[in-house]
């Protein structure tokens, strides 16, 4: 090849390219994709791509009896199913004017907080895995299994409990259960130091997560961020306290906040929430023996139950943020409309797209996971 014949071939700059992340990758609990435009390894544009887990729950629920839907709702969010059941039940109870017995409310709180613990343990494992640390993941999943054993014992199901019904819960706890609950709580308490050493105060984690995917409080409010992600920007807001439901107003617990708004703050807020959940569960274990009475109120025949015409908006603080059910009845035996508002509908779409821009490609999985995005909640 002679030099005079040589001509450079014109090509687009090779440092600009597109990359699809997903639908299967370590940054997410489920199938979800991000379409990225990159310059070098910096993201200049991100587009969320959902729909891999769409099962049409809202439509299916319109075709089933009010009671049958209890079997469907927990499947909308796999890592934290208890909040789905309770929120749906609260909505139907508002419509039907049902008074839930006090003992059932305490049992629901117990189920919700145990579910929050399982979700957070899962989260710690996943967040660590996005930084290449797998021991924490195995620990998290193994410790979560102990809580799942408790679920199996008092609800019959390990993951999808279907423990709630409109009007209360299906059955009371078995004899000696509170002792076993306390034993698991003691064990989890004793493990926290190990988790701290391995993960939360690990030099690599702190330096890797500090400043990653950071947002300030104003941005968080503008983008509709809720739950632990909002508390990681310094706003002490929790629906359990500030729009209280069940018996949370009778319980003592703090609302942990962090100021950074970055991945590290989001991880640490959840670490401290885990402690608060254990604290709540200890109070439940202490109070429950003193509260008698039935675990559900009488309801009409569930196969021919025409819920009065009306609409209700029930909200709970799930492990990921604000979860709400808008339920409409036309006076029939099936819902006319059920709309599920999950926290990930904000976190996994707009917030994730905004936070991805300007960050480096190796941080994308970490940003995704620390936002605790749950794709089935987006797709429904």
Partner 1 sequence: MDKRREMASWLDKVLEEFQGVQVRRKGHSRLRVDVDSDALPALLELLQGRAGYVHLSAISCVDWIDDGEFELVYHVWSYETHSLVSAHIRIPREPGVYLSIYDLYKPAAFFERDIYEMFGVYFEGSPRMEKFILTEWDGPPPMRKEFDTKQYVHDTFDWQEYNPDWLQEIREKGGGIVE
Residues that bind partner 1 (CB under 8 A): 49-51, 54, 56, 58-60, 63, 221-224, 226, 235, 237, 242-243, 311, 313, 315, 322, 324, 326, 328, 336-337, 339, 341, 345-346, 349-350, 378-379
| 323/319 Cα distance (integer angstroms) | 9
Rounded to whole angstroms, what are the CA distances from 275 to 163, 206, 223, 343? 25, 20, 28, 22
Measured from the CB atom, the residue of 305 and 326 that comes closer to partner 1 is 326
SS3 43: strand
Measured from the CB atom, the residue of 32 and 154 that comes closer to partner 1 is 32
Measured from the CB atom, the residue of 251 and 340 that comes closer to partner 1 is 340
In the complex, minimum distance from the CB of residue 173 to partner 1, in angstroms, rounded to a whole number = 30
Q: How many CA atoms lie within 13 A of 310 on its CB side?
A: 12
In the complex, minimum distance from the CB of residue 249 to partner 1, in angstroms, rounded to a whole number = 12
Measured from the CB atom, the residue of 11 and 218 that comes closer to partner 1 is 218
In the complex, minimum distance from the CB of residue 235 to partner 1, in angstroms, rounded to a whole number = 8
In the complex, minimum distance from the CB of residue 171 to partner 1, in angstroms, rounded to a whole number = 27
In the complex, minimum distance from the CB of residue 55 to partner 1, in angstroms, rounded to a whole number = 11
CA-only gyration radius of the chain, Å? 23
Selection from 370, 364, 380 nearest residue 48 by Cα: 364
Measured from the CB atom, the residue of 202 and 226 that comes closer to partner 1 is 226
Name the CA dihedral angle for 160, 108, 344, 336, rounded to a multiple of 10 degrees. Answer: 80
Distance of CA 236 to the CA centre of its chain: 18
Q: Which two tokens stand for residue 277?
A: 């959940």
In the complex, minimum distance from the CB of residue 269 to partner 1, in angstroms, rounded to a whole number = 18
| 379/342 Cα distance (integer angstroms) | 10
All residues at 6 or more sequence positions from 69 whose CB lies less than 8 Å from its CB, including other chains: 61, 88, 335, 338
Measured from the CB atom, the residue of 209 and 348 that comes closer to partner 1 is 348
């Amino acid at each position: 090849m002679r030099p005079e014949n040589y001509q450079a071939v014109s090509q687009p700059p090779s440092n600009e390219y597109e990359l699809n992340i997903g639908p299967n990758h370590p940054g997410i609990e489920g199938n979800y994709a991000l379409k990225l435009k990159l310059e070098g390894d910096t993201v200049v544009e991100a587009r969320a791509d959902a729909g891999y887990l769409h099962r049409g729950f809202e439509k299916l629920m319109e075709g089933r009896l009010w009671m049958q839907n209890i079997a469907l709702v927990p499947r909308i969010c796999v890592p934290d199913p208890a909040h789905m059941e309770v929120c749906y039940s609260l909505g139907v109870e508002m419509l039907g004017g049902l008074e839930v017995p006090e003992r059932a409310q305490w049992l629901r709180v117990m189920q919700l907080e145990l579910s929050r613990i399982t979700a957070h343990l899962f989260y710690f494992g996943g967040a660590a895995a996005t930084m290449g640390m797998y021991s924490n993941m195995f620990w998290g999943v193994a410790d979560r299994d102990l809580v799942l054993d408790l679920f199996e014992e008092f609800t019959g199901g390990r993951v999808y409990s279907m423990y709630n019904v409109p009007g209360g819960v299906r059955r009371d706890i078995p004899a000696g259960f509170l002792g076993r609950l306390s034993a698991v709580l003691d064990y989890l308490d004793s493990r926290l130091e190990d988790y701290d050493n391995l993960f939360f105060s690990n030099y690599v984690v702190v330096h890797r997560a500090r400043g990653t995917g950071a947002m300030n409080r104003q941005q968080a409010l503008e983008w509709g961020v809720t739950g632990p992600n909002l508390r990681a920007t310094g706003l002490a807001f929790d629906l359990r306290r500030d729009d209280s439901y069940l018996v949370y107003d009778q319980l003592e617990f703090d609302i942990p906040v962090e100021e950074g708004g970055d991945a590290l703050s989001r991880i640490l807020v959840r670490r401290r929430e885990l402690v608060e959940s254990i604290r709540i569960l200890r109070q439940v274990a202490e109070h429950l023996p003193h509260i008698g009475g039935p675990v559900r109120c009488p309801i009409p025949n569930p196969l021919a139950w025409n819920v009065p015409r009306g609409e209700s908006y029930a909200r709970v603080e799930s492990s990921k943020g604000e979860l709400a059910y808008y339920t409409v009845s036309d006076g029939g035996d099936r819902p006319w409309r059920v709309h599920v508002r999950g926290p990930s509908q904000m976190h996994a779409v707009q917030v994730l797209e905004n936070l991805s821009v300007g960050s480096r490609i190796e941080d994308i999985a970490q940003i995704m996971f620390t936002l605790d995005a749950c794709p089935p909640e987006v797709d429904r």
